Amino acid sequence: MGHKNNLNRSYRIVWSESRQTWVAASELAKGHSRASCTSVKQLVLAVVAGTILAGQLTQPVLAQSFTPVVSGTVSGETITSGTQSVISGGVANGGAINIGGVQNVSNGGSTNNIAVNSGGRQNVYAGGVTSSIAVNTGGQQRVSGGTAEGTTLSGVFNSSDSGFQYVYAGGVANNTIINSGGDQRLYSGATANSSVLNSGGIQRVSSGGTAVGTVFNGGGQYVYDGAVVSGAHVVSGGQTVSAGGAAVGTILETNGRQNVWAGGIVSDTVFNGGWQYLYNGATVSGANIVSGGQTINSGGTAVSSILTSGAIQYISAGGNAVDTVFSGGRQYLYGAVVSGAQIDDGTQIVSAGGSAVGTTLGSSGRQNVFAGGSAIGTVFDGGGQYIYDGAVVSGAQIANGEQRVNSGGSAADTRLNGGTQYVYDGGLASNAVIEDGGRQIISSGGQATSAIVNNNGRQYVSAGAVATGTIVNSGARQDIYSTGVALDTTVNAGGVQRVSAGGSAVDTVIDAGGIQTISSGGFATDTDIAAGGLQNISSGGSADNTIIHSAGVQRVYSGAVAVDTTIDNSGAQYVYGGGVAVNTTVNTGGILNISDGGILEGFTLVVGDAQLNASTTFVNNGVLTLNQTADNTLAATISGAGSLVKDGNNTLILTGVNSYTGGTTVVGGSLYIGDIAGSPARLASDVNVQNGAILGGHGQIAGHVTVDSGGTLSPGTGAVGTLTTGQVTLKGGSILDVDAHPDHNVGRVVADSALGGGNGTVTIEPGAALQIWGGAGTWAEEFSYVIVDSDQGVSGQFSTVDSNLAFLTSLVDYSNPDQVRLTLVRNNTSFPSVGGSENQQNTGAGIEGLGENNPIYETIVSMDAWQARNAFDSLSGEIHASVKSALLINSRYPRLAITQHLSDASGLLAPETDINKNLWVNVWAHDGHVKADGNASKLDNRGLGVLIGSDLYTSADETTVFGVAAGYEHTKLSTDRLRHSDADINAIHLLAYGRTSVGLIDLKGGIGYSWLDIDTERNIAIGNLASKNQGNYNGGLLQAFIQGSHTFNLTPNLNLTPYINVAAQRITTDSFTETGGLTILHSSRHSDNLLTTTIGVKSEWQVEDRMSLYGDLGWQYNVGSIAPKVHMNFVGGKEYTIRGVEINRNAAVVGVGANFQLQPNMTLSIGYDGEFGRQVRDHAARIMWEFKF
């Protein structure tokens, strides 16, 4: 087909317009005008090339003839309505691509400096490279796998007449210049590096596209879903990041703008004067705002922004900024919520609806919170937080720096570990914790509530500020001054509240170890001092309505005033020299201690069993009222023009020299002036003794003593004494109460005008009474005792004279005009007549039979009726009769031992019957008492015993048994403290017993005798008589008993036995004479008889082969000597009868226990026996063992 030299050669082919066909460039160069064989070859190659290109191009290829360019360079060509493909090392320089023209650059082809005009298009495919292409109005450059360097885009802004650069997968556009009307579009897999956006230019980055280092000199970049841009430098113009788009490291200069929309992701933007706008759903992070600003609209979020000097961050409602770091600049919150801001320098401004959470303030950081804004959890390491009208902050933690709450702002839960919180101008701070050098300063109308001040914390309240509910703990202090007010403060151990210079503390509670100090114009009211709390009131300080509880202390120093103080149990008020206490109330257990120079003013009330230790001066006619329920002695002195009121049912003894002149009123209880004979105690004032009150003592009362109706004047202190007064008036219904002793020592009232406060007279008005209290001892009949003495005369007489002495009559002598004298004589009252019981009356008769001059008689005759009755009980010898009562009660135990043996021998667990010898032992112990019966006292009765027996005869059918038993029993008795008597009784028992049957009736019975050895002891202490009287004598108890019963076998293992038991007892005691003192007694031999009938039923239940349980219930009736008696007489006296304590007439008796068959020939029984009646209660435990052999 051609010359062989044409084979295997390469040709550059181009489209020839003149020939309208593809030709080899070499042919054109040769000037051949027709096709040759070479043209045929070239045509084949063109077809092949066209096929290849058709497989490579993603864009449609115009169906036009074409000029192939192979291995060469073309320059200055204009492509119109056709396609030029530059491949395989081809180069196209210059020229233009006009409407309908297409240039394809691929596979090593390259173009330079070509203008792509309206309707023209340049396609840059894999391996293709372009440079300095100018895409003009309506032109297009499409880069798909190739590289475009330095393309310039121009055209009509945002229209079809823009100059377009489309960059597809694998395509790279470097240094593209996008002028006004230029439009660069980056698709998935496309990359644009260092593009330059000028005014009116647009860069669009779609999903998968990447733009790096774009420089904005105007124009705009749009970053769509899935696109990523980085390193953009926005000098002017704007970058818009839409949902799913991402921009990294953008630099915004002064005229630059970055818009981030919902779902857009932006990080590490640098602001040099530009602005970033975040819209709903947008998220940015790491913004570094040197200057310019960031606006975060509703739904936008900025994370870890850095603000430096001149930077601004606006956050609108619904916007959010997290972990912003300030090195200057300002952050504005308009209804937004931000968190984690770090402000080392700069300002965070929180406006209405805004909220800042977890902000950290450095040394130069500032946070301003305005009306409607809030800040939560701000952390201070310096800097300041300013809270204005209507703003609310909470949870601030201040290690250094300051928080200022003013103009209606509110701060809650602030924790000050250093630094200062200022609260003023209507600001409110609540629940602050202040410690470790922290300070809360409340002033100028500020308020603080529920603060807790811990170690080394301070709270200052001044200038009209109010702190409410503060708790001051150990090492902490609250200072109130300059019209500051603290309400409801609690001061705990180690805490201090200081009130000074016009400050006020209201309702403070001072707990144990807490201190409140009030000084220099400070005022505290309604303070509550708990146990161990302390209130110190220094010069210029005052306290009102203080309550001092157990072990609490109030100290009132010189120049200080305490008003209306109440002192409770063990609380104390100390008033030092120059200190003033006004209207103090001292309750039970309280202590009022007034040092020399201390002043009482107003009405001071002391109640309960308070202690009063006072050396005080009354001013302004002060009144000290002592209303106590326990006795108290006041040794200090009281002076001034005030008065003292004694109230309450206690005794107050004044032992000091008291010069107060305002008067003394005894409203209740007893007031004694001086506590011992010769006491220097003195009152200068008049004394009024009101109804129910008592005045006495051993000292002097210079003034006029007036005793109202119902009042009592009683010299001494409950015993004999002399009370000296200036003048005495005993009004009608009043009482002169005089203690008198047989040794001529008698109470006396003296009126002495030399004391200077009265006229030395004693006036006894009609209706006044004299009460004589005679002491125990031997009175000298018709001896005269002076009970009233005066130096200016006695007028009037007592209307009634009463005495406690039952057997002596008081005679009053008024013959001496300056005295009243007392004489005692025996009356007609017999000793028995004052007795309240049979034993008392009989003993009284026995004593009266001794006659006068007998020591026992003389002791009784000087007693009152009550003393005499007690003496009769002590002297009566009642224990000797009650011994019989106890022995009759206890006689049942030997009987129970025998009846139990006889019952068990025929019971369900009886030992085997082919053995006819046996031995049994019964041991018991009991404890009980016999109640007092109105005549004899209660008797405690306890003891133990043992009885050993053996059956001497047993019939073949074992229905008849006869045996004997012997034993020992010890009983211990004691009476109550008035009788103070005891007895020990040892008894030896010997009994014979038997059992037989008469028809259906089983008979059991016995007879026995007990030898009694009785030891008694009576301790006597009556008046001057005291002795220990002991008795030792013998006695005997004879008893016989019989029991009839019948056993019903309900089942082989259960039986029921009704029974009736009758026992007769006779007890006899021998005559004896006690040893001891003057009050020993003699008794003659005497016997008592008792018949006891018991009706009951016993049941036994065999629960297993070797064990059975039993129960016994009966009713017991006694007739005869249920109150045994003895005949007694004093040495040289007549015999009288004494009855012992009454035993039961009717009683219930019970028994329960268990029987065990230890061996076929051995049984053991353990049980309980009790007796329950109106008089006797007795409980016993019993063990019985039986052995057959």
Report, as an integer, the average pLDDT of 705-711: 98
Strands 762-764 and 794-795 turn out to be parallel
Q: Which two tokens stand for residue 1109?
A: 């349980």
Q: Which two tokens stand for residue 1067?
A: 């007890």
pTM of the model: 0.56
> Dihedral of CA 469/475/476/477: which sign?
positive
Q: Is the pLDDT of residue 343 over 50?
A: yes
**pLDDT digits 0-9 by tens, 499-536:** 999 999 999 999 999 999 999 999 999 999 999 999 99
Of these ranges, 262-271, 672-681, 1009-1018, the one predicted with the greatest mean pLDDT is 1009-1018
Res 557: pLDDT:
96
**pLDDT digits 0-9 by tens, 979-992:** 899 999 999 999 99
Range 710-713, long-range pairs (CB < 8 A, 24+ positions) = 710/734, 711/666, 711/735, 712/736, 712/737, 712/771, 713/689, 713/737, 713/749
Q: Which of 294-298, 622-626, 769-773 has the lowest mean pLDDT?
A: 622-626
d(CA 166, CA 181): 14
Q: Is the pLDDT of residue 367 over 80?
A: yes
- Give the phi and the psi of residue 892 in degrees, each rounded to 5: -70, -25
Q: Which of 160-169, 458-467, 587-596 has the lowest mean pLDDT?
A: 587-596
Res 621: pLDDT:
63
b/e 296-313 (16+ beta carbons within 10 angstroms → b): bbbbbbbbbbbbbebbbb
Q: Do 135 and 152 contact (CB within 8 A), yes or no? A: yes
Res 620: pLDDT:
54
**pLDDT digits 0-9 by tens, 852-886:** 889 999 889 888 899 999 999 999 999 999 999 99
Classify residue 885 as left (phi > 0), alpha (psi -120 to 50) or beta: alpha
Res 782: pLDDT:
62
Select from 1009, 1016, 1065, 1063 the least CA-distant residue to 1036.
Answer: 1009
626 beta partners: 606, 646
> Dihedral of CA 12/13/14/17: which sign?
positive
d(CA 630, CA 816): 41
Residues whose CB is less than 8 angstroms from the CB of residue 107 and which lie 6 or more positions away in sequence, other chains included: 56, 87, 88, 125, 126, 127, 128
Q: Which two tokens stand for residue 889?
A: 């009660």
Report, as an integer, the average pLDDT of 969-977: 93
Res 1119: pLDDT:
97
Kindly report the number of other CB atoms within 10 A of residue 1060's CB atom: 13
Instruction: Give domain limits for the chain.
Output: 340-473, 663-828, 835-872, 876-1188
Q: Is the pLDDT of residue 181 over 80?
A: yes
d(CA 742, CA 776): 7
Residues whose CB is less than 8 angstroms from the CB of residue 828 and which lie 6 or more positions away in sequence, other chains included: none
Select from 682, 680, 677 the least CA-distant residue to 664.
Answer: 682
Q: Is the pLDDT of residue 57 over 60?
A: no
d(CA 354, CA 361): 18
**pLDDT digits 0-9 by tens, 4-27:** 334 334 444 444 444 444 444 444
Gyration radius (Cα) of the chain, Å: 62
Give the distance between the most distant pair of CA atoms in the chain.
Answer: 192
**pLDDT digits 0-9 by tens, 937-972:** 999 999 999 999 999 999 888 889 999 999 999 999
pLDDT band of residue 779 (cuts 50, 70, 90) is low
Select from 471, 396, 476, 470 the least CA-distant residue to 436.
Answer: 476
> Three-class SS of residue 492?
coil
* Distance spanning both ends of the chain, measured CA to CA: 159
**Average pLDDT value over all residues in the chain:** 88
d(CA 847, CA 347): 109
Res 1176: pLDDT:
96
Res 166: pLDDT:
95
Burial group, residue 838, by CB count within 10 angstroms (0-12, 13-18, 19+): middle
Q: Which of 180-184, 783-787, 897-901, 982-986 has the lowest mean pLDDT?
A: 783-787
Report, as an integer, the average pLDDT of 185-198: 93
**pLDDT digits 0-9 by tens, 105-123:** 999 999 999 999 999 999 9
454 beta partners: none
Residues whose CB is less than 8 angstroms from the CB of residue 898 and which lie 6 or more positions away in sequence, other chains included: 947, 949, 965, 991, 993, 1004, 1006
Res 603: pLDDT:
63
pLDDT band of residue 543 (cuts 50, 70, 90) is very high
> Three-class SS of residue 191?
strand
Q: Where are the beta strands (DSSP E) in 978-1053?
A: 981-998, 1001-1022, 1025-1045, 1048-1051
Secondary structure of 241-287 as H, E, C letters: ECCCCEEECCEEEEEEEEEECCCCEEECCEEEEEEEEECCCCEEECC
Report, as an integer, the average pLDDT of 561-578: 88
> Three-class SS of residue 1092?
strand
d(CA 357, CA 971): 90
Residues whose CB is less than 8 angstroms from the CB of residue 569 and which lie 6 or more positions away in sequence, other chains included: 549, 550, 587, 588, 589, 590, 608
pLDDT band of residue 207 (cuts 50, 70, 90) is very high
Residues whose CB is less than 8 angstroms from the CB of residue 520 and which lie 6 or more positions away in sequence, other chains included: 500, 501, 538, 539, 540, 541
Residues whose CB is less than 8 angstroms from the CB of residue 604 and which lie 6 or more positions away in sequence, other chains included: 581, 582, 583, 584, 585, 586, 592, 622, 623, 624, 625
Count of helix runs (H) and strand runs (E) in the chain: 7, 116
d(CA 852, CA 357): 106
Q: Is the pLDDT of residue 46 over 50?
A: no
| 1105 vs 516, residue with greater confidence | 516
**pLDDT digits 0-9 by tens, 162-178:** 899 999 999 999 999 99
| 661 vs 1146, residue with greater confidence | 1146
| 870 vs 914, residue with greater confidence | 870
Of these ranges, 711-725, 781-795, 849-863, 923-937, the one predicted with the greatest mean pLDDT is 923-937
Q: Which of 67-81, 264-278, 706-720, 986-1000 has the lowest mean pLDDT?
A: 67-81
pLDDT band of residue 394 (cuts 50, 70, 90) is very high
Q: Do 190 and 169 contact (CB within 8 A), yes or no? A: yes
Q: Which of 359-363, 794-798, 919-923 has the lowest mean pLDDT?
A: 359-363
d(CA 80, CA 68): 15
Q: Which two tokens stand for residue 882?
A: 């009650």
Q: Which two tokens stand for residue 487?
A: 């309400």
CATH class for the region spanning 876-1188:
mainly beta
In 3-state terms, the chain is what percent helix, strand and coil (to 5)? 10, 55, 40
Res 421: pLDDT:
94
Task: Using the structure block, give the residue that is written with the tokens 């900025």.
Answer: 302
d(CA 351, CA 333): 6
Report, as an integer, the average pLDDT of 272-284: 89
> Dihedral of CA 647/648/651/655: which sign?
negative
Q: What is the DSSP letter of 834?
A: G
Residues whose CB is less than 8 angstroms from the CB of residue 1163 and which lie 6 or more positions away in sequence, other chains included: 904, 909, 910, 911, 1155, 1156, 1157, 1185, 1186
pLDDT band of residue 776 (cuts 50, 70, 90) is low
d(CA 168, CA 655): 118
Res 878: pLDDT:
96
**pLDDT digits 0-9 by tens, 23-41:** 444 443 333 333 333 333 3
Burial group, residue 851, by CB count within 10 angstroms (0-12, 13-18, 19+): exposed
b/e 1150-1168 (16+ beta carbons within 10 angstroms → b): ebebebebeeebbbbbebe
d(CA 383, CA 1093): 105
